């Protein structure tokens, strides 16, 4: 195994993101990441066991950065959260292509499946925490805030399928209406 060259793992993740954007998922390889980062393939293997692990860590990084963008807990946060979610559709649905690719890998690779499950759990927990700060109570009696967090997270991921598969899908119009729904839920939970 090669020794690390002093390059940070986060720098390799950035290089991997750039490689994915420039080359696309079809031509994404460990060699391409090494070339983008200006290191040897051995350095890449030192930090990552496989292409799937790099993709997984890219998705985790995007998720963490996305959720960390939400700094205030009020009505403005709804707009911030929606902008963050909507940004995941930019660059030809880059994030969701990676995420859905990982899901497919997870069908046959139990380790990837477990890690994707952990990402979903972390996202659901973070969203639940945010919703608990937004709402005094759930907007609908008998529906837990945890259920709301899972529902909203699944809604955003399901929306990605619409965006990626339908050329005529109007993301802006949908998000304007989704914001109205969420603002209404916010008021009901107060």
Instruction: State how many domains the chain has.
Output: 2
Task: Judge if 86 and 160 occupy the same domain.
Answer: yes
Task: Judge if 27 and 85 occupy the same domain.
Answer: no
- Over its length of 190 residues, how does the chain's per-residue pLDDT go in tens digits? 445 567 889 899 989 988 887 887 778 899 999 999 999 999 999 999 888 888 888 878 877 766 665 544 455 666 666 776 676 666 556 777 778 888 888 888 888 888 889 888 988 998 888 888 888 888 899 999 999 999 988 988 888 888 888 889 888 888 889 888 888 888 887 7
Query: Tokens 């993740």 correspond to what residue?
Result: 13
Residue 66 structural domain: 51-188
Task: Judge if 68 and 122 occupy the same domain.
Answer: yes
Cα–Cα distance, 163 to 99 (Å, whole number): 14
Cα–Cα distance, 188 to 176 (Å, whole number): 19
Q: At what angle do helices 90-108 and 145-165 cross, to 10 degrees?
A: 110
Q: What integer pLDDT is reported at residue 159 of this predicted model? A: 86
Cα–Cα distance, 51 to 91 (Å, whole number): 21
Task: Judge if 170 and 111 occupy the same domain.
Answer: yes
Task: Judge if 42 and 55 occupy the same domain.
Answer: no
Task: Judge if 56 and 26 occupy the same domain.
Answer: no
Q: What integer pLDDT is reported at residue 72 of this predicted model? A: 47
Task: Judge if 106 and 144 occupy the same domain.
Answer: yes
Look up the CATH number of the domain holding residue 6. Answer: 1.10.10.60
Record the pTM: 0.73
Task: Judge if 173 and 113 occupy the same domain.
Answer: yes
Q: What integer pLDDT is reported at residue 73 of this predicted model? A: 46
Task: Judge if 25 and 117 occupy the same domain.
Answer: no
Task: Judge if 159 and 95 occupy the same domain.
Answer: yes
Task: Judge if 4 and 83 occupy the same domain.
Answer: no
């Amino acid at each position: 195994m090669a020794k690390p060259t002093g390059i940070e793992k986060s720098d390799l993740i950035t290089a991997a993101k750039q490689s994915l954007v420039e080359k696309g998922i079809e031509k994404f390889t460990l060699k391409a990441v090494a070339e983008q980062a200006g290191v040897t393939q051995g350095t890449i293997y030192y930090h990552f066991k496989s292409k799937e692990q790099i993709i997984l860590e890219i998705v985790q990084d995007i998720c963490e950065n996305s959720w960390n963008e939400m700094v205030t807990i009020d009505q403005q946060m709804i707009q911030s959260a929606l902008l963050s979610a909507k940004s995941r559709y930019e660059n030809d649905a880059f994030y969701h292509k990676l995420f859905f690719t990982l899901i497919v890998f997870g069908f046959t690779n139990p380790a990837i499946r477990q890690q994707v499950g952990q990402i979903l759990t972390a996202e659901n927990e973070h969203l639940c925490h945010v919703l608990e700060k937004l709402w005094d109570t759930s907007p609908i009696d008998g529906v837990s805030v945890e259920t709301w967090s899972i529902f909203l997270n699944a809604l955003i991921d399901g929306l990605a399928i619409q965006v990626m598969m339908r050329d005529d899908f109007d993301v802006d119009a949908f998000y304007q209406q989704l914001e109205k729904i969420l603002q209404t839920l916010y008021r009901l939970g107060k």
